[in-house]
Structure 1
Amino acid sequence: MTDDVLFLSGDQVTGLLGLDAAIASQRAAFAALGADAADLPGKIMHPSRFDDSVVFAYVSRLSADTGAVAKIGSVNPGNAASGLPTVHAVITALDPVTGRLVAVMDGTPVTTLRTAAASAVAIDALSTPDSADLALLGSGTQALAHARAVARVREVKSVRVWSPTPRNRARAAERLAADLGIAVRAVGTAEEAVTGASLVAACTLSATPVVRGEWLAPGCTVVSVGSFEPGRHEVDAEVLRRAARSGAVVVDDPATAAAHAGPVVEALREGRLAYEDLVGLGAVLTGRSLPRSGPGDIVYYNSVGLGIQDAAAAWAVVEAARKAGL
């Protein structure tokens, strides 16, 4: 049964799925979602009763010629202290015609790359063309991936990095400066990182806001990927208020965000935001929504992660593996 099944390690996945391919896969994923041309069942996010971990399960299908993809994994916030990714997962891909198993791959690099790539797609669609100063909240695997991905769609000139541990943010700044060849500086507070930035990427697992609306410069685009369940709030209410008033609150999928994205769930519950105010990234990519009316608008993008992202990225990996003769 397994003679013709691809088994791909994390290193193999990383080698097969470069940033440009990952970004292309996410454009395809959200364009399909915006055109209502993909299968996207609801995802499972289940906080453990035993510790602070969260188990998740996604199932989706991108197109008729790519089969169903399933991902199961766990978010373990304590891993950050050990220098490990906080998300680990495994992905399976099935044949589009027979349903037979096609591939099993390490889902950790897929998750990292597709999340950062989707944020790059969002920034490319939502931010002003001259956005060049990036505030990076977080210093882990996902934060580093975000800085690299954003640099593929914008000519980033400087990065300010903040995370709670001075050693971690200093190390992240050093690595990014070497990778990107630009000025990267570790700063002592989140406010110092965000103030004056045209791009803000929040890549934390914080339950309390690390980005406050009063800090945002006119025209700023804020991306948040850590508010993936109702109890996590990387941004405060003022961020959403400013975005809803002048620009837009953009999400990966309105129905999913309304159930899972902490700041969005809270704003809907308190009546500060209506469901109709949520703009899907797919609607932006397909031209059905124009969230920015002027260069001074504040735009907020919240991603909780969707199975369709994994489906697009996983099949990009499978195709690359086939071309490589694996």
Structure 2
Amino acid sequence: MSDDIPSDSPESFPEPFPVLFLAAGRVAGLLDADTALRSQRAAFTALGDGTADLPGKIMHPSRFDDSVVFSYVSRLSADSGTVAKFGSVNPGNAAAGLPTVHAVITVLDPVTGRLAAVLDGTTVTTLRTAAASAVAVDALAVPDAADLAVLGSGTQALAHTRAIARVRELKSVRLWSPTPEHRARAAETLAVELDLPVEPAGTAEAAVTGASLVAACTLSTTPVVRGQWLALGCTVVSVGSFEPSRREVDAEVVRRARECGAVVVDDPATAAEHAGPVVKALREGLLTPEDLIPLGGVLTGRRTARDGPEDIVYYNSVGLGIQDAAAAWAVVEAARADGAGEGERR
């Protein structure tokens, strides 16, 4: 009998790392602001280079209520295994002060496919979404953009303000959401955290008018940002229009960006199917598929989004599995470097 170990024998594989079980607080500690930003630059650079695996996402509106179930699968590189995220969007959570997105993430070993980690997906989603928007702002906005308008007062609105403050020296923030108590509380929280003048705005128009940066972080099915309000040179980021029925910006935002600037998306094929304002503009002939510029193309220098300081740039993100893959592996690597033990449940 041969002494050789069959190639598919368990002994032929390296000793696996312990399986990690990382709760929300532990994930937040490992995925700090700079780590989150690096992970999202890596995600979109891999997309721009064409080196990532990105199967189509699943978004399924419930027949029972206004929730949406979703599932993403992606792989960033040969050195990092497949990552899957499963969860739901529950708009009613906002009224209770809860995140509208809840999810769980599983991470597989790149060599064997064995389970490597289970992570709180809600925290990953919040931090990677805001970090990706900050990466987009850094790539698309004029260098001296310093006045931020935020639409929304929930988890993503706060996270976006914090993340954008990492890539631009903000001078002021104006924040609007439909409920006066919510926007006042959010403004107070951010003013203390960031040591910035953060004002609750009485209307969306008052928040947006004159701003050089606009971040729309709502689940609105009707526009909260109108193109006629936008100042020359403005960069608009929208993360709430992740399905065809949701449109945070009106057609005038899209028109002005297409005619004097650029319409940038996280992934053109995904945006054409899921991003409400983009789906509508394509259907009505306001946009063509060739008008959609991928953020990864801008980061890798293959595409240009802004030709001058007065261009208006609109960035729509529906969220991609590659963002979760990059963020999840950043968390796993940080946990391993921190000496995480088997079955860690912190």
Tell whether the structures are fold-level matches, with TM greater than 0.5: yes
Alignment partners' CA distance in 1, 2:99 and 2:23: 15
Asked if residue 316 in structure 1 is aligned to residue 330 in structure 2, the reply is: yes
Asked if residue 77 in structure 1 is aligned to residue 91 in structure 2, the reply is: yes
Aligned pairs for 1:133-282 (under 5 A) are: 133-282=147-296
Letter paired with 1:148: R
Determine which of 289, 296, 320 is the counterpart of 2:303: 289
Distance 1:70 1:184, change over 3 A: same
TM-score by length of 2: 0.93
Determine which of 10, 16, 24 is the counterpart of 2:30: 16
Deviation at 1:269, TM superposition (A): 0.3
CA RMSD, 1 decimal: 1.1
Letter paired with 1:102: A
Deviation at 1:290, TM superposition (A): 1.1
Partner of 2:3: none
Alignment partners' CA distance in 1, 2:22 and 2:109: 16
Matched positions, count: 326
Partner of 1:40: 54
TM-score by length of 1: 0.99
Letter paired with 1:314: A
Alignment partners' CA distance in 1, 2:190 and 2:32: 17
- Which runs of at least 4 in structure 1 moved beyond 6 Å after TM superposition? none
Partner of 2:12: none
Where do 5+ consecutive residues of structure 1 fail to align?
Answer: none
Deviation at 1:134, TM superposition (A): 0.2
Partner of 2:67: 53
Partner of 2:117: 103
Letter paired with 1:181: D
Identity score, percent: 78
Alignment partners' CA distance in 2, 1:218 and 1:125: 17
Alignment partners' CA distance in 2, 1:283 and 1:220: 20
Determine which of 109, 112, 134 is the counterpart of 1:120: 134
**CA deviation map 1:198-219 (0-9, x unaligned):** 0000000000000000000000
**CA deviation map 1:30-71 (0-9, x unaligned):** 000000000000000000000000000000000000000000
Alignment partners' CA distance in 2, 1:152 and 1:109: 19
**CA deviation map 1:302-321 (0-9, x unaligned):** 00000000000000000010
Secondary structure of 1:316's aligned partner: helix
Alignment partners' CA distance in 2, 1:251 and 1:228: 11
**CA deviation map 1:280-302 (0-9, x unaligned):** 00000000111101000000000
